[in-house]
Amino acid sequence: MAAETSETATPKRVVVIGAGPGGYAAAFRAADLGLDVTLVDPEPKPGGVCLHRGCIPSKAYLHVAGLLREAENAETLGIRFAKPVVDIERLRAWKDEVVGKLTSGLAALGKARRVRYVQGRATLSDARSLVVDGTTSGRETLRFDFAIVATGSRPAVPEALTLDSERVVTSTGALELPDIPPTLLVVGAGYIGLELGTVYAALGSRVTVVEMTDRILAGVDQDLARPVKAAATKAFEALRLGTKVASIEETATGIAVQLVSASGGAATTSVFDKVLVAVGRKPNSSGLGLETTNVEIDAAGFIIVDAERRTREPSIFAIGDVAGQPLLAHKATHEGTTAAEVIAGRKTAFAPRVVPAVVYTDPEIAWCGLTEEQAEHEGRKVEIGVFPWQASGRALTLARPDGSTKVVVDPGTQRVLGVGITGVGAGELIAEAALAVEMGAVVEDLAATIHPHPTLSETLMEAAEVARGLSVHLKKKR
């Protein structure tokens, strides 16, 4: 029998800094591949911002907001409920139960894989070692063959909106749901602002949303965003586009906010019980000791990586939000498994054709690949097929015809380049579209695939038929 190699006898030591969806995925895959793995994070259990204070808590609250809206709208269908009563303490406890189940499950999975979990904050000392502060045993030095930085991102708060007050919060504070403020100002009409504005409006707050630009949800085709804008206008006290916050000040009665219109005119001042700052996120790349290595960051603070997720320092990888856009949990997960496999010696790279995105408003918006507006901006010729949900039998039976499905097709090859969906459950529907783009499907593949009837998934098939000029359920264009 051949002698065992030293590499087999002594597994590579891997330290993963950050236990969010990217970090724990990297740690688990590395352990499955036989590596010696340590996972470091400030939280007592893995999950990161997404699970503890982001994706999961917000979606739990959005589900409740949806139930409240359904109860409110049921009368139009001939069903009458008593006015719902919200028990904030029980609602918050239920959210914590959901988070607790998931974090405990991850902890068990890590333990079963023999991943060592260290609670604390890691700081790199050089390209082969780091120090962890905050553990129960105090300070600990860890040496590694490879490190994966997965420290995520945090809410960005412009200096003009910085105020030391419990009344001014970011998404982290808003998801704690300590109370339901009578009035709430949301600064920013991106996905975080609109999602949390939706939650608080459903729970009873009078919500005002302000946005500096003249549109909501930058990067989304505005025809797809239109139903969301209409719903937000109805649900919110006000949706003010082209408006910026000039100043904020705490008073005896709340937060006095001075608003200025981009089109000119005098500033107006209003007082709100709370202000939610939701203008974006920035990477957690500072304070990690990166300056002790050859790791480089760009002007926005993102760590520069290659397709293998390796930094300019060969022993250090970076994944997830800290490694660049898009700042999405599922992107981080796939990057994490890529980094782990590269460290284990496998030939792989992170090179997806698309990374789907979802905004969990009501209605939802989901998209992947090339958008129509992006194609116009690039001067690229495309064919478009749009199927309105007013023609969908399933959407009508749900009393939710306020959606549409769009496909973007290359005129020459007929390949599906992108898909956008607005409507209830759009986030669940986009995966089929992402698969189609990823595998290089042509529009006929979508049109010829038999979809069950009646379903919302049919709208993707119908949109493909529209793109081919063969729609059964819409009038043919002359």
pLDDT, tens only, 38-78: 999 999 999 999 999 899 999 999 999 999 999 989 999 99
> What is the percentage of the chain residues whose pLDDT exceeds 90?
90
C-alpha 413/C-alpha 382 separation (Å) is 11
**Residues 6+ away with beta carbon under 8 Å from 239:** 189, 208, 209, 211, 216, 229, 232, 233
Q: Which is the CATH superfamily of the domain at 357-467?
A: FAD/NAD-linked reductase, C-terminal dimerisation domain (3.30.390.30)
Q: Which residues make beta-bridge pairs with 421? A: 366, 405
C-alpha 473/C-alpha 379 separation (Å) is 31
Q: Which is the CATH superfamily of the domain at 159-279?
A: FAD/NAD(P)-binding domain (3.50.50.60)
C-alpha 316/C-alpha 335 separation (Å) is 14
Tell me, what's the pLDDT at 2? 40
Q: In what order do the strands lie in the sheet with 36-41?
A: 116-119, 36-41, 13-17, 146-149, 316-318
Is there a contact between 318 and 124 (Cβ–Cβ < 8 Å)? Answer: no
Tell me, what's the pLDDT at 4? 38
Which residue, 344, 337, 347, 350, is CA-closest to 29?
A: 337
Is there a contact between 123 and 287 (Cβ–Cβ < 8 Å)? Answer: yes
pLDDT tens digits for range 253-278: 999 999 999 887 788 999 999 999 99
**Residues 6+ away with beta carbon under 8 Å from 307:** 349, 350, 351
Tell me, what's the pLDDT at 6? 41
Tell me, what's the pLDDT at 465? 95
Q: Which residues make beta-bridge pairs with 243? A: 261
Active site residues: 453
Tell me, what's the pLDDT at 323? 98
Average model confidence (pLDDT) across the chain: 94
Is there a contact between 223 and 213 (Cβ–Cβ < 8 Å)? Answer: no
Position 9 confidence tier, pLDDT thresholds 50, 70, 90:
low
pLDDT tens digits for range 132-168: 997 666 899 999 999 999 999 999 999 889 899 999 9
pLDDT tens digits for range 374-419: 999 999 999 999 999 999 999 999 999 999 999 999 999 999 999 9
Distances from the Cα of 202 to the Cαs of 28, 60, 77, 361, 397, in angstroms? 38, 13, 20, 12, 23
Which residue, 195, 135, 113, is CA-closest to 359?
A: 195
C-alpha 463/C-alpha 387 separation (Å) is 5
pLDDT for 7 beyond 70: no
Q: Where in the chain is the domain with CATH 3.30.390.30?
A: 357-467
Q: Where in the chain is the domain with CATH 3.50.50.60?
A: 9-155+282-343, 159-279
pLDDT tens digits for range 286-309: 999 999 999 999 999 999 999 999
What element of type H or E holds 98?
helix 88-112
| Of the options 3.40.50.720, 3.10.310.10, 2.40.50.140, 3.50.50.60, the CATH number for the domain spanning 9-155+282-343 | 3.50.50.60
Tell me, what's the pLDDT at 476? 66
C-alpha 329/C-alpha 333 separation (Å) is 6
